[in-house]
Structure 1
Amino acid sequence: MNSTTAPSPRVLAYRPEIDGLRTVAVLPVILFHAGFMFFSGGFVGVDIFFVISGYLITSILAAEIAQGHFSILKFYERRARRILPALFFVIIATLPFALLWMLDSDIQNLGRSIMSVAVFASNLFFWRNTDYFDPAAGEQPLLHTWSLAVEEQYYIFFPLFLLLAWRLKKPGLTLFILVITCVSLALAEWGATYHPAVNFYLLPTRAWELLAGSLTAMVLFRQPGTPAAPDGFSLVKAALAITGAGLVLYSVFGFDETTPFPSLYTVVPVLGTCLIILFASPHCVTGKVLSLKPMVWIGLLSYSAYLWHQPLFALYRLSPLQFSNNDQIIFPLLIVVVFLLAWFSWKYIEAPFRYKNRISQKGVFRWAVASIVLLLGIGGTLNAVYKPVADLMAVQVQDCEGYDAGGSELACKKIGTGSRLVVLFGDSHVLPLVDAFSEDPAMTYMFVSIPGCPPLVGLERYDGIGNSSNCDKPGQLAHYAQQIASLQPEKIILVGRWTLYMHGWQKKNVLQKKHHLLQLETGETGLTPQQVVARGVDATVEFFGRTAPQSTLFILEQVPDIQMFGHVKAVVSALGDSVPRTAIDAWDEGEMSMLADEANGGALRVIRTKQYFCNAASCEIGKDKRFYYLDDNHLSASGAKLLSEPLKMAINP
Structure 2
Amino acid sequence: MSTLVYRRDIDGLRAVAVIAVVLFHFGVPGFTGGYVGVDVFFVISGYLITSIIWNQRQAGRFSFVEFWARRARRILPALFVMIIAVLAVGWFLLAPKDYEELGRSVRYQVTFVSNLLFMRQAGYFDVASDLKPLLHTWSLAVEEQFYILFPLLLTLLSSRLKHWRLALFAVLLGSFGLSVWAVAHHPEKAFFLLPMRAWELLAGAMLAVAPKSAWRLKPMAAQWLSLLGMSLILLAVFGYDKSTPFPGVAALLPVLGVVLLILANGHRPTLVGQLLSSRAMVGLGLISYSWYLWHWPVFVMSSYASVSESSALDGAGLILLSLVLGYLSWRFVETPFRERRLFAGRRQILLAGACGILVLGLAGQTLRWTDGLRWRLSDQALQYAKGREWRPELMACLANDKTPDDKLFCHYGIQDRPSRALVWGDSHATALIPAFDDGAKAHGVSVVLASSPGCLPVEGLEHDARCARFNRRVEEALKPQSVSDVVLVARWSLYLYGDAKGDLAHALRTPEGHYDRAIAEQRLAQGLRSRVAQLRAQGHRVWLVKEAPLQAFSPPYRLTRLAMLGRPVDDVGLAIAKHHERQAFISQLFAQLAQDPAVRVLDPAPRLCDASGLCRAERGGYSLYTDDNHLSQVGARWVAPVLEPLFVGLKARGNPEKRQVNASR
TM range (shorter): 0.7 to 0.9
**3-state DSSP class of the match of 1:588?**
helix
Runs of 5+ in structure 1 lacking a partner? 1-9, 223-227, 462-467
Name the residue aligned to 1:372.
361
Name the residue aligned to 1:358.
342
**3-state DSSP class of the match of 2:550?**
coil
Q: Name the CA distance, whole Å, in 1 between partners of 2:226 and 2:514.
A: 45
Name the residue aligned to 2:654.
none
**1:578 and 1:619 in contact (8 A); partners too:** yes
Name the residue aligned to 1:424.
423
Task: Tell me which of 206, 230, 239 is aligned to 1:245.
Answer: 230
**2:387 and 2:622 in contact (8 A); partners too:** no
**2:157 and 2:168 in contact (8 A); partners too:** no
AA paired with 1:128?
R
Q: CA deviation at 1:220?
A: 5.7
Task: Tell me which of 625, 637, 641 is aligned to 1:641.
Answer: 637
Is 1:261 equivalent to 2:246 in the alignment? yes
Q: Name the CA distance, whole Å, in 1 between partners of 2:108 and 2:67.
A: 22
Q: Which moved more, 1:139-148 or 1:26-35?
A: 139-148
Name the residue aligned to 1:3.
none
Is 1:145 equivalent to 2:131 in the alignment? no
| 1:594-646 deviation per Cα after TM superposition (whole angstroms, max 9, x unaligned) | 22122222343222211211123222210343211112111122212212333
Q: CA deviation at 1:495?
A: 1.5
The within-5 A match list for 1:119-138 is 119-130=111-122, 136-138=128-130
Q: CA deviation at 1:398?
A: 6.5
Residues 644, 102 of structure 1: alpha-carbon distance in 2 compared, 3 angstrom cutoff: farther
Residues 601, 123 of structure 1: alpha-carbon distance in 2 compared, 3 angstrom cutoff: farther
AA paired with 1:481?
V
Residues 484, 598 of structure 1: alpha-carbon distance in 2 compared, 3 angstrom cutoff: farther
**2:394 and 2:431 in contact (8 A); partners too:** no
**3-state DSSP class of the match of 1:373?**
helix
AA paired with 2:608?
F
Q: Name the CA distance, whole Å, in 2 between partners of 1:413 and 1:75.
A: 56
Name the residue aligned to 1:434.
433
Q: Which moved more, 1:333-342 or 1:275-284?
A: 275-284
Name the residue aligned to 2:508.
518
**3-state DSSP class of the match of 1:430?**
helix
**3-state DSSP class of the match of 1:273?**
helix
Q: Name the CA distance, whole Å, in 1 between partners of 2:182 and 2:591.
A: 42
Q: Name the CA distance, whole Å, in 2 between partners of 1:413 and 1:353.
A: 58
The within-5 A match list for 1:375-454 is 375-379=364-368, 381-382=370-371, 391-392=389-390, 405=402, 418-420=415-417, 422-436=421-435, 437-438=437-438, 440=441, 445-454=447-456
Is 1:183 equivalent to 2:174 in the alignment? yes
Q: Name the CA distance, whole Å, in 2 between partners of 1:400 and 1:241.
A: 51
Name the residue aligned to 1:304.
290
Residues 102, 524 of structure 1: alpha-carbon distance in 2 compared, 3 angstrom cutoff: closer
**3-state DSSP class of the match of 1:559?**
coil
Q: Name the CA distance, whole Å, in 2 between partners of 1:276 and 1:393.
A: 52
AA paired with 2:225?
L
Name the residue aligned to 2:474.
481
Q: Name the CA distance, whole Å, in 1 between partners of 2:12 and 2:572.
A: 49
Q: CA deviation at 1:25?
A: 0.8
Name the residue aligned to 1:556.
545
Is 1:330 equivalent to 2:287 in the alignment? no
**3-state DSSP class of the match of 1:37?**
coil
AA paired with 1:459?
L
| 1:539-559 deviation per Cα after TM superposition (whole angstroms, max 9, x unaligned) | 222344456x4x543222211
AA paired with 2:45?
S
**2:68 and 2:148 in contact (8 A); partners too:** no
Runs of 5+ in structure 2 lacking a partner? 375-381, 563-568, 650-665
Q: Name the CA distance, whole Å, in 2 between partners of 1:119 and 1:303.
A: 19
| 1:169-228 deviation per Cα after TM superposition (whole angstroms, max 9, x unaligned) | 5x6221112112112222222333333333222222211111111111111679xxxxx9
Is 1:570 equivalent to 2:570 in the alignment? no
Name the residue aligned to 1:271.
256
AA paired with 2:596?
G
Is 1:156 equivalent to 2:148 in the alignment? yes
Q: Name the CA distance, whole Å, in 2 between partners of 1:258 and 1:593.
A: 29
Q: Percent identity?
A: 34
Q: Which moved more, 1:186-195 or 1:624-633?
A: 186-195
Is 1:345 equivalent to 2:339 in the alignment? no
AA paired with 1:626?
Y
Q: CA deviation at 1:270?
A: 0.6
Residues 99, 454 of structure 1: alpha-carbon distance in 2 compared, 3 angstrom cutoff: farther
**1:397 and 1:412 in contact (8 A); partners too:** no
AA paired with 2:544?
I
Residues 432, 93 of structure 1: alpha-carbon distance in 2 compared, 3 angstrom cutoff: farther
Q: Name the CA distance, whole Å, in 2 between partners of 1:64 and 1:136.
A: 44
Name the residue aligned to 1:6.
none
Q: Name the CA distance, whole Å, in 1 between partners of 2:198 and 2:404.
A: 27
**1:425 and 1:447 in contact (8 A); partners too:** yes
Q: Name the CA distance, whole Å, in 2 between partners of 1:311 and 1:126.
A: 16
Residues 406, 399 of structure 1: alpha-carbon distance in 2 compared, 3 angstrom cutoff: closer
Q: Which moved more, 1:606-615 or 1:160-169?
A: 160-169
| 1:431-488 deviation per Cα after TM superposition (whole angstroms, max 9, x unaligned) | 3223333484956654433222212222133xxxxxx5634xxx43532432551694
Q: Which moved more, 1:618-627 or 1:630-639?
A: 618-627
Task: Tell me which of 1, 16, 25 is aligned to 1:24.
Answer: 16
| Structure (1 or 2) with the larger CA radius of gyration | 2
Name the residue aligned to 1:13.
5
The within-5 A match list for 1:538-557 is 538-545=529-536, 549=539, 552-557=541-546
Q: CA deviation at 1:379?
A: 4.8
Q: Which moved more, 1:531-540 or 1:330-339?
A: 531-540
Q: CA deviation at 1:256?
A: 2.7
**2:551 and 2:573 in contact (8 A); partners too:** no
AA paired with 2:116?
L
Q: CA deviation at 1:27?
A: 0.5
Residues 425, 528 of structure 1: alpha-carbon distance in 2 compared, 3 angstrom cutoff: same
Q: Name the CA distance, whole Å, in 2 between partners of 1:124 and 1:598.
A: 47
**1:41 and 1:252 in contact (8 A); partners too:** yes
Q: Name the CA distance, whole Å, in 2 between partners of 1:94 and 1:357.
A: 26
**2:108 and 2:114 in contact (8 A); partners too:** yes
Q: CA deviation at 1:353?
A: 3.6
Is 1:600 equivalent to 2:589 in the alignment? no
Residues 61, 75 of structure 1: alpha-carbon distance in 2 compared, 3 angstrom cutoff: same
**1:400 and 1:412 in contact (8 A); partners too:** no
Name the residue aligned to 2:274.
288
Aligned CA-pair RMSD: 3.8
Q: Name the CA distance, whole Å, in 2 between partners of 1:524 and 1:242.
A: 29
**2:389 and 2:626 in contact (8 A); partners too:** no
AA paired with 1:298?
L
**3-state DSSP class of the match of 2:427?**
coil
AA paired with 1:392?
W
Residues 418, 118 of structure 1: alpha-carbon distance in 2 compared, 3 angstrom cutoff: farther
Q: CA deviation at 1:117?
A: 2.8
**1:247 and 1:269 in contact (8 A); partners too:** yes
Name the residue aligned to 2:209.
218
AA paired with 1:117?
Q
AA paired with 1:49?
F
